[in-house]
Structures are given as structure tokens and as C-alpha cells.
Structure 1
Amino acid sequence: MFDMRASRLVSILLLLQSRERMTAHDLAAHLGVSERTVYRDVEALSAAGVPIYGEAGREGGYRLVDGYRTRLTGLTTAEAESLFLTGLPSVATDLGLGRAAAEARLKLTAALPAGLSERAVRWQDRFHLDALGWYQEADPIPHLMAVAAAVWRQHRVRLRYLRWERPHEVTRTVDPHGLVLKGGQWYLVARRADAFRVYRVSRILDLRLLDEGFDRGASFDLAAYWRAHLDAFDARRHGGHAVLRLSPTAMEQLPYLAEPAVVHAAHASARAEPDGWIRVTIPVESEGQAVRDILPLGPDAEVLSPATLRARVADAVTAMARHYASHRKH
């Protein structure tokens, strides 16, 4: 218990050193504790002689007296090792920071005590992080650095963008709020006409940085927005459901042949039938896509509903059988 509190007190000091001021609410959210716990910790720091001050009011919060720096900078073994797993070299290179990141790692390694330095480098030598998915090649992203510069400087941009809908090529003026790397692909989260939209950076045909700045807003949370965007995307994409009968073999193979949302839904809705097969309800994006997803299960899957999907799968199987029967005759 004492170790946990000591670690929390150090965390409060480091947070206040890195920011001008923080409210008790902000500190509690960062530390995963209650605001009452933060109040007690701040009192303990103040009693120990740390010049920490609380200011009331809308713009208030806790802050350290100007110029105060803690000497509690030592790293534990686990912390030193984890530092070499916190970044992706390929990501730094994409953003034009590859050399800077490499030099920073060298400086960090040189600053660590010998024992920690050796252990940290050992982690770097034994673990490699690759953000790109299997069987994928990275798309060309010639405008990524320009997008990153606009995000960092909070400058409005005008971009020419290639989208799936018609008209395919459009021009948009947007306020770039953040960049996200997902499955090896970069995405720009930007505000346009008071609504946020997501643009795949590799589909930006041209980009011009404008002189106009924009107010990013202190309340915008990139990670929270992205989570909500993914949830909404899945809800829109999975617009329907299908009822299937699956053999025990199909249930075992499902995690290797279907996406996680389908696997979770299948297991959550599974009902055993008298013949040993399992009846499940799964989300489907479209009937065309559902046919392509169900066919790899072969004879271990049967579509019960909707009737239109059952007919399309039957037609696909019949066509395949006809091709093979024709080949046998020749």
C-alpha cells in the first residue's frame, strides 16, 4: 500500500512538472483514483515541503512554484525496459522523425545506469513491433508529413481527396485535429462544417497548408473520438443479421475465418440443436459480403435466414458444383 502511494505521489509531481496546472479532477482521471485521494496526496506533498499550490476558480487548479523541479527521476527496471517498446521506428520514419527518434534512444540508453541500459537494449534486440497487417503492403503516403505539420501547427488545410462515392474526386477545406495509425494505415481526423470526418491519408491527392489557424478546443479527445468512430462504423457496417446452423467443426474454425464481431456474436447467441449442430445469429455487412464470408465454412454451415441470403449461398454452391461437374466431363 505504501509503495502504491509513493508511486502516486511521484506521478503527481511529474504530471505537475510537465503541465502548467491541473485540477483535482484531471489528476484523479490520470491516476485512476478519487478526487478525495488526490486532495490527501496533495496535502502530504505540501507537508513534505513540496511547493504545490491550489488556486480556486474556473481557471484554477494545482501547480508547482515556478522553477521547482523534483530530483525523483530514477527509473525502475521494468520502466527502463518498457521505454524501448513505447515507439515504432516505422512510425517515426513516416513522420520524418526517424533520425531524431534513433538519437533520442541513444541518448536515453547512454543516460541509464549500466545494468538498466543493458536490460533495455536487450528488449530492443529481442522484440520488434510491426504495425502492418499480414499480406498487406503499405500504401504510398506522400502527404503524411504535410498533414502532420498542419495537425501540429493547428493550420487549416485544403485537400484534394479520392473517395469511394461519386463524385470520386472532391476538394475539402478542413481543420486537422489528429492522426491515427490503424492496421498499418494512417487516418486524418478533421473537422469540416462543425462535424468531424475521417480521411485516409493515402487517398489525399494534393494538400495545401493555409495561413488560417483554427481553435482545436481543449475538450477534444482524439483517442475517445476514434473509439466512438470505430463503434459507429461497425454499427453502420453491420446493418443486418443472419441465422446459421454451424457444425462443431465450424465453431472451432470460426475465429480463423471470421472477424471478431462475428465470432463474439456467434458464441453469445449459440444454441445447441439435437443433432449436435449449433444455431447462431451473426451480424452481416451485406448479403454479397455475407456469401463470401460463409462459403469458406463449406458444408459445415447452413444459412437458415434471411431467405434471400440462403438462396444466394445455394446459387453460389450450385454454380461451383456445375463448374466442377463440367470439368469432370472434359
Structure 2
Amino acid sequence: MKSSRLVSILLLLQTRGRMTAAQLAEELEVSVRTVYRDTEALAAAGVPLYADAGHAGGYRLLDGYRTRLTGLTPGEAEALFLSGVPGPAAQLGLGPVLAAAQLKVRAALPAELRDHADRISGRFHLDAPGWYTDADDTPFLPAVADAVWNGRVLHVTYRRWREPTDVERRLEPYGLVLKAGRWYVVAGPGPRTFRVDQILELAATGEGFERPGDFDLAAYWAAHQRDFLSRLHRAQAVVRLAPGVALAGPAGDAVRANGRTDEDGWTVATVPIESLDRAHGDFLRLGTGIEVLEPAELRDRIAATAAELVRRYGD
């Protein structure tokens, strides 16, 4: 603990310049007396640390005493600080580690690159979850992350959507993925994908496993998403879209790929749909900006809903 604190003092002074003992104590959440002892230890170890007395005094390092990272371009320095996502890091139990790592990187950057990194941190903030959704309750996320990192088998009770809902599973966790604010663990054998928030019970074991040497988490996840979407959108619908009306996701891609404009200026396209129920709700949200041509069952359901709305709201 003390060695980590000594490094933190060194990096704080290297980054911020002169700091008083009280400022260091507040930053490190220790007493001023502890700061005095730590600075004496740094000086005894040969660190060129000086204390200036007086109202504007404080501790400072000898000018030019710093360790620099070499080879970083301004864009690379910006990317380093843009990629640090404090929310997910905190969920994984790595919040303090991330903060310490960013402090070390920032302290080692030359002044020009440090300014670039600070500008990125002050102008961009990533908030992954969508609006109107509560964060998933993932109490076992740190334990899963630890098993991923250390290559340890997990025994879990997992809740799935089909019967039987609660099942026992032995997982060999290969990696974690954060998608739209929700955590997934990719685990063998298989591999297969599990939602971390659906783990009801977890027992860590001392049993190790061999992660396949050719396993690529990013490539697996990309293939998993393609497979998921192909299984999700098994049906199709033919629609007309008013000028300026757009569909999102795979349906939007289909409109851009095969859409054609008719004599009224509307766009006719064949789009994938998940189910009649889902398409019924999705298309109704577009109001008069869409007309369903096929399938007949979906067109009839939307017409029946429109007729019911007329009866309910009409004179």
C-alpha cells in the first residue's frame, strides 16, 4: 500500500507541479503526517523532491525530472483517454485501477500530448446504456471477470427464457462483452453466450481450463450478432414509406439495398421482420408514414387497429 502511495505522490507532482502537503493528503485520502513521512521516504530514495516554505510553498520535483512515453502521436494519446470508460470499469471493480492507470499515462505524456488528452476527456463522455432503461443488476460481474482473467471454471445457476428456466451450467469463461449497457460472458464448451445479469447463483472453483489458443473474442461476437439477427428476422414484409420516413436496423439496410421510388414519391421495399406481432407494433409507430402491402395478415391487423382507433376517437 505504501509503495503504491509513493508512486501516486510522484505522479501527482509530476503531473500537477507544486502541491502542498494538505493537497496531497486530500488527494490520497491520508493524513498530512503520512504525507510528510512519504515525502521523506521519496527524498531518501534519491527522488529530487523539494519543499518550498511560505504561503505559496509546497512540494515539487526538480525541473525536467519525469518519465516520458515515446512514440505516441496526438491522436493516439487522445484515443487512450477516450477509450477509458469509467462506468464499465467500476462495474468490473476496476475503477481505482483505471484512475491510477490514467494518472500514470497522463504523468508520462509530454505537455503537448497531455493537453490533447485533457481536451478529449473534457469534451467526450461515453454513456453506453440507452434511455428509459435501468441498469442491469449484475452482482456476479466482478467474480465472472476474475474467472475470465485467471482462467477458472465457474458453476452457475442460470435463468433462461424457455423451460426449464433455471438450469445448472459449468462455464469456462473466455471473455466478457458489453453491448448496449448489458454484460455478456462468452464461455465454453461451445462456446456459447450468457447474460451476466441472468446468473442467479455462482460458485467459483479452483479448477483451471485451457482457453483455445485460436479463439478471437471480437470475431466470435461479430459472428454471434450476425447469426442472432439472421435467426431473429425470419419473415419479410413489403412496405411503402412516405418521403422522409426511415426504418432502423436491418429493415433500414434493406430499404437502402432494394428500395424503389413509385410515381407518388414513396419508397417501396421488402424488409425483414422479427414476427407479425413485433412488426405490427413497430409499423404502427410510424403512423401514416408507412403502408404495409404484404403479408396480407399483417396488413389486415394494422387495418383493424386503425379502424378501432377511428371508432374510439371518432365522432
Q: Please name the residue that 2:101 is paired with.
A: 104
* Range with greater deviation from structure 2 (294-303 or 201-210): 294-303
Superposition map of 1:113-132 within 5 A: 113-132=110-129
Aligned 1:162-311 pairs, distance under 5 A: 162-192=159-189, 195-248=190-243, 252-254=244-246, 258-311=247-300
State the partner residue of 1:78.
75
Q: Deviations over 1:246-296 (max 9, x none)?
A: 221xxx232xxx432111101211122223322111100000000001111
Q: Which moved more, 1:95-104 or 1:294-303?
A: 294-303
Taking structure 2 as the reference length, the TM-score comes to 0.75
**What pairs with 1:1-80 in structure 2 (closer than 5 Å)?**
73-80=70-77
Other-structure match for 2:140: 143
TM-score by length of 1: 0.72
Deviates further, 107-116 or 88-97: 107-116
SS at match of 2:285: helix
1:216 is displaced (CA, Å) by 0.7
* Unaligned stretches of 5+ residues in structure 2: 1-67
Percent sequence identity over aligned pairs: 48
CA RMSD, aligned part only? 1.7
Query: One-letter code of the match for 1:304?
Result: L
Cα distance in 2 for partners of 1:270, 1:299 equals 18
Q: In structure 2, how many angstroms separate the alpha carbons of the residues matched to 1:108 and 1:299?
A: 54
Q: How does 1:152-171 map to 2 (within 5 A)?
A: 152-171=149-168
Q: Distance in 1 between matches of 2:82 and 2:155?
A: 36
What's the CA shift for 1:99?
A: 0.5
Deviation at 1:72, TM superposition (A): 8.6
How many Å separate the matches in 1 of 2:79 and 2:173? 31
C-alpha displacement of 1:161: 1.1
C-alpha separation in 1, matches of 2:213 and 2:288: 55
Deviation at 1:322, TM superposition (A): 2.0
How much has 1:79 moved relative to structure 2? 2.1
Q: Equivalents in 2 of 1:151, 1:177: separation in Å? A: 6
> SS at the partner of 2:149?
helix
Q: Deviations over 1:191-232 (max 9, x none)?
A: 13xx22111111111111122211111100000000000000
In the other structure, the counterpart of 1:94 is 91
Q: Distance in 2 between matches of 1:300 and 1:76?
A: 48
Tell me which moved more, 131-140 or 100-109: 131-140
Which sits farther off after the overlay, 122-131 or 288-297?
A: 122-131
| Inter-CA distance 72–150: structure 2 relative to 1 (3 Å threshold) | closer
Is the 8 Å Cα contact of residues 69 and 108 (structure 2) preserved in structure 1?
no
**Bigger radius of gyration, 1 or 2?**
2
Provide the C-alpha distance between the structure 2 equivalents of 1:116 and 1:93, rounded to a whole number of angstroms: 26
Aligned length: 248
User: C-alpha distance in 2, partners of 1:104/1:303?
Assistant: 54
Rounded to whole Å, the distance in 2 between the matches of 1:129 and 1:273 is: 41
In structure 2, what residue type is equivalent to 1:232? D
How far apart are residue 135 of structure 1 and its match? 2.4
Alpha-carbon distance, 1:187 to partner: 0.4
The structural deviation recorded for 1:158 is 1.0
* Mapped partners of 1:274, 1:116: distance in 2: 57
> Partner letter of residue 154 of structure 1?
G
